[in-house]
Amino acid sequence: MDFREQGSASGGARVEDDFVQPLKRMPGVSHRHLPAALPLAIAGIMLVSAVAFGATVAHNAAAPAAPAAPAAPTATINVISGDPDESTSASADPTAVATQHDSDTSAPDPTSTPKPTATPKPTKKPEPTRNPGDLGGLKATKNSDGTYTFSWHAYTGSQAFDYYKLDGKLYPDKPGYVENGGEYLACVDPDTHSATITLDPGTWNLNVEAVEVGDSDPVAVARTSVLKLNVASNTAPEIKSLSLTATAQDDGTVDLKWGKYTGLYFGYYGIVRADGSETPTLKVGTTPEVYFDSVGATSWTDDGSSDLGSLESGKTYTYRVYAFTSQTFGAVIPACEVGTILTVSDPKTVTIP
């Protein structure tokens, strides 16, 4: 709407009648259509506002604003030396902190296969260390010939010694060559840990000592425990005849051959001779003038140079062969100084050419 002041010149000073003269409406077109255009204008403004509001709401719903990142942690560094005016604290590198954080919280690679955990092997229990002064328990084994073999542990200490001694006393006396001044039954060098002996019937206490002789009285550096052993009387085998042949040679000698003894307790072969056709015998308490300690000795030639005496041409001699042992058997006759007769041959008589 265009209003102009009446009674005043354009650009001039106001006069009295400027205030008393009524304003007159200037003719125009728009004032006639205002009532109808106003609702349309208001509707347009509301439409524009609604479109703008809807766009804002849609934008906020589609992309919410990310929350503000927390402030990087600040590490305090104590100043040990330097300019006292310098700051006593500094902020840790936020990049470094983020890197460390990412490293600590990173998830394992889902594509990697976890390795099986190895099962630890059981720890072997160490064997207890044996006291070097202990030779262990003394063991006894009875052999087929009636003897006993005793065995023990080797000495493991550092002290030198001269030999092992096997000692035995009839129960209830205590054994020990050094310990109790006993009689030893066997003596072997330090590299040997067994001994085979013959024991008389009875109940025995036995042990072994590693003995150092030294410059004074013997000293036992180690010993076995005491073994109590019951030795029963041996049963002598039945006396059987050995096969024997005796042949006089042209040179004045006599060849003897006999069968091998295959029974138990073998110790020796012995040969006895008598003048004439008299049957030779092995007297009690004596030993044969000629004997062999090998079971393989099944022949011998009498040339007149042995302890049996000389041979004379034209004379007759009778021979017998014995198998005997150094062990003692009860109620066996005949017996000899070195043991018990196991078997004897029939007598054989020859005449020297």
- Distance between CA atoms of 144 and 264, rounded to whole angstroms? 7
Q: Is the pLDDT of residue 284 over 80?
A: no
pLDDT of residue 226: 94
**What is the rounded CA–CA span in Å between residue 194 and residue 150?**
5
- Please report which confidence band the pLDDT of residue 215 belongs to, taking 50, 70 and 90 as the band edges: confident
Portion of the chain with pLDDT greater than 70, in percent: 58
Distance of CA 212 to the CA centre of its chain: 34
Alpha-carbon span 333 to 90, nearest angstrom: 117
Nearest in space to 139 (alpha carbons), one of 147, 131, 148: 148
- Give pLDDT tens digits for 308-319: 999 999 999 999
What CA–CA distance (Å, rounded) separates 147 from 200?
A: 10
Mean pLDDT of the 223-230 span: 94
- How are beta strands 219-223 and 184-188 bridged, if at all? unpaired
The radius of gyration of the chain from alpha carbons, rounded to an integer in Å, stands at 66
Exposed, middle or buried: residue 268 (CB in 10 Å: 0-12, 13-18, 19+)? buried
Average pLDDT over residues 122-147: 77
Q: For position 336, what pLDDT does the model report?
A: 53
User: Which range has the worst mean pLDDT, 29-38, 198-207, 282-291?
Assistant: 29-38
Give domain limits for the chain. Answer: 139-231, 241-351
197 near 326, Cβ under 8 Å? no
For residues 153 and 133, is the Cβ–Cβ distance under 8 A? no
A 10 A CB-CB count for 39 gives 9
CA distances from 189 to 84, 165, 209 (A): 87, 9, 12
Neighbouring CB atoms inside 10 A of 136's CB total: 17
Question: Which CATH superfamily is 139-231 part of?
Answer: Immunoglobulins (2.60.40.10)
What is the reported pLDDT for 112?
Answer: 62
Task: Decide if 139-231 and 241-351 have a common fold.
Answer: yes
CATH number for the domain formed by residue range(s) 241-351: 2.60.40.10
How much is the pTM? 0.40
Residue 126 phi/psi, 5° resolution?
-65, 140
pLDDT band at 9 (very low <50, low <70, confident <90, very high): very low
Q: Which of 5-19, 51-65, 307-321 has the lowest mean pLDDT?
A: 5-19
Provide the token pair at 4: 């102009």
Residue 225 near residue 138 (C-beta atoms within 8 A): yes
Selected residue with higher pLDDT from 23 and 240: 240
Q: Is residue 180 scored above 50 in pLDDT?
A: yes
* Cβ atoms of 287 and 336 closer than 8 Å: yes
How far is it, in rounded angstroms, from Cα 11 to Cα 5? 11
Return the pLDDT at 70. Answer: 53
Examine the pLDDT at 7 and tell me if it is beyond 90.
no
pLDDT score of 130 more than 50 = yes
Query: Which of 64-68, 139-143, 176-180, 196-200 has the lowest average pLDDT?
Result: 64-68
Pairwise CA distance, residues 221 & 158, whole Å: 10
pLDDT the model gives residue 44 = 65
In the block, tokens 């006069």 appear at 15
Copy the structure tokens of residue 210. Answer: 């590693």
Q: pLDDT (tens digit, 9 = 90+) per residue, 73-114?
A: 444 444 344 444 444 444 444 444 444 444 445 555 556 666
Among 52-61, 80-89, 283-292, which is the least confidently predicted range?
80-89
Find the range with the poorest average confidence among 116-130, 262-276, 339-353. Answer: 116-130
